[in-house]
Amino acid sequence: MKNKILLLAGILLMAFSACNRSDKKVEALKHAIDVAEYQLKQSAAEFDTTQLFPRSWKADKFRAVDAYDWTSGFFPGSLWIGYQLTGDEALKSEAEKYTARLHEIPAYKGTHDLGFMVFCSYGMQQAIENDEVSAAAIVEASNSLSSRFCDSVGLIRSWDFGPWNYPVIIDNMMNLEMLFWASRHTGDKSYYDIAVRHADNTLANHFREDNSSYHVISYNNDGTVESKGTFQGFADDSSWARGQAWGLYGYTMSYRETGLERYLEHAQKIAELIMNHPNTPEDRIPYWDYNAPNIPDAPRDTSAAAVMASALFELSTMVEGELSQRYFDYGETLLMALSSDAYLAKKGENGGFILMHATGHLPANSEIDVPLNYGDYYYLEAIRRYLGLRGIDPLTL
Ligand code: GLY
């Protein structure tokens, strides 16, 4: 009897794996992982003898940046996720090397982007290696980020440049994940309290009636609002696509970290805005701004799509039934579009980046219709989350 049960279990397992293998979506992701492995190695070799990181690429020219650029953590982070998806030890050793290039950053207090820079790099190292070096880096960076919190304003200051008194951008929500981790790791609740006050005040001031968000809110020193506008979007009252993606991801993550229902409710409202937006093109990869003037000819932003897909996969785990399926399905649609020939690079092309057709800062005429290292990072994270939700171990692909 026992043997028969084992045999049946074996047959079911084989049928299940065969089913996985023949699934076109999984096949597409297997190909994407193969491309990613190749591209990541090519880029790692390209910058091997430098202290730089690939940020974007256009007309055969790299934009390479040093550790102090806001995007410096994404390439090391992509190498770590590449390792998770492939088990390729060469990627792991590149990930260690590129992460170590950021060793000065945890002490840097000049930007809110420390979460992106340190938690996508050392944070991934910590998730995989559980080592003391990365833990210390994350705690130090959390202290530096916390130094940018002003009690009377109730938020972390995003930038030290520009015409604003106290600018806070929607992107800043992403940097809270590191503070939540530091609070858990050290047992010091002050990191958590800063993150929750920042998320609450952003919730109160950054969003419009229709749940779209401004990019930049500037505050007076007493915490009242000085101005509401944009820096990277089309107009002060437009919906910059990546800003909507940062908000969705930020509140989904904040619910995961706190269990506070108001964050879940808000993430769901942003998800509805994104999933039902009338200016979304057929393949769902958003234009760089939902109110861009030259839709349907406006440039797309695959980086926003990758962030949205990754966030929607997580959001799908926080609710049940039809709603969960809707988030998952929309994320899957985005992921499959990104994995098609229209957006996924061919091996050896696209300057070693994985996704094509992202937009960095269009009003500044900067990084339009290019690959961007953060698009690649969130794309790989979305692939990992998707396979995880489907119960597929990427190492068996
Ligand atoms: N955090 C800057 C950007 O999304 O372009």
| Alpha carbons 108 and 140: distance in angstroms, whole number | 9
- The verdict on residue 304 lying in a domain is yes
**Phi and psi at residue 368, in whole multiples of 5°?**
-105, 130
**Phi and psi at residue 285, in whole multiples of 5°?**
-75, 115
User: In 3-state terms, what secondary structure has residue 197?
Assistant: helix
Which residue minimizes the CA distance to atom 5 of ligand 1? 360
Catalytic, 60? Answer no
- The verdict on residue 69 lying in a domain is yes
- The verdict on residue 2 lying in a domain is no
Q: Which atom of ligand 1 is nearest to the CA of 171?
A: 1
Cβ contact 293:234 at 8 Å: yes
Structure-token pair, residue 105: 């950053």
Cα diameter, the chain: 77
- The verdict on residue 80 lying in a domain is yes
Which of 69, 168, 171 maximizes ligand 1 atoms within 8 Å of its Cβ, making it the mutation to test the pocket? Answer: 171
Cα 180 from chain centroid (whole Å): 16
What's residue 9's pLDDT?
A: 56
What residue has token string 């990758």?
A: 306
- Dist. CA 170 → ligand 1 center (Å): 9
What's residue 21's pLDDT?
A: 53
Among 113, 289, 301, 376, the active-site one is: 113
Structure-token pair, residue 347: 């091996």
Which residue ranges of the chain lie beneath pLDDT 70?
Answer: 1-22
Nearest one of 290, 375, 393 to 335, comparing CA atoms: 375
CB of residue 367 inside a 6 A radius of ligand 1: no
What's residue 7's pLDDT?
A: 54
What's residue 387's pLDDT?
A: 98
What's residue 43's pLDDT?
A: 98
Catalytic, 301? Answer no
CATH of the domain at 86: 1.50.10.10
- The verdict on residue 12 lying in a domain is no
Cis status, amide bond into 106, omega within 30 of 0: no
Instruction: Look up the domain containing 365 and give its range.
Output: 25-396
Structure-token pair, residue 190: 């002050």
- The verdict on residue 253 lying in a domain is yes
Structure-token pair, residue 60: 């055969």
- The verdict on residue 16 lying in a domain is no
Q: Which atom of ligand 1 is nearest to the CA of 169?
A: 1
- The verdict on residue 110 lying in a domain is yes
CB of residue 232 inside a 6 A radius of ligand 1: yes
* Number of independent structural domains in the chain: 1
- Note the pTM of the prediction, 2 decimals: 0.95
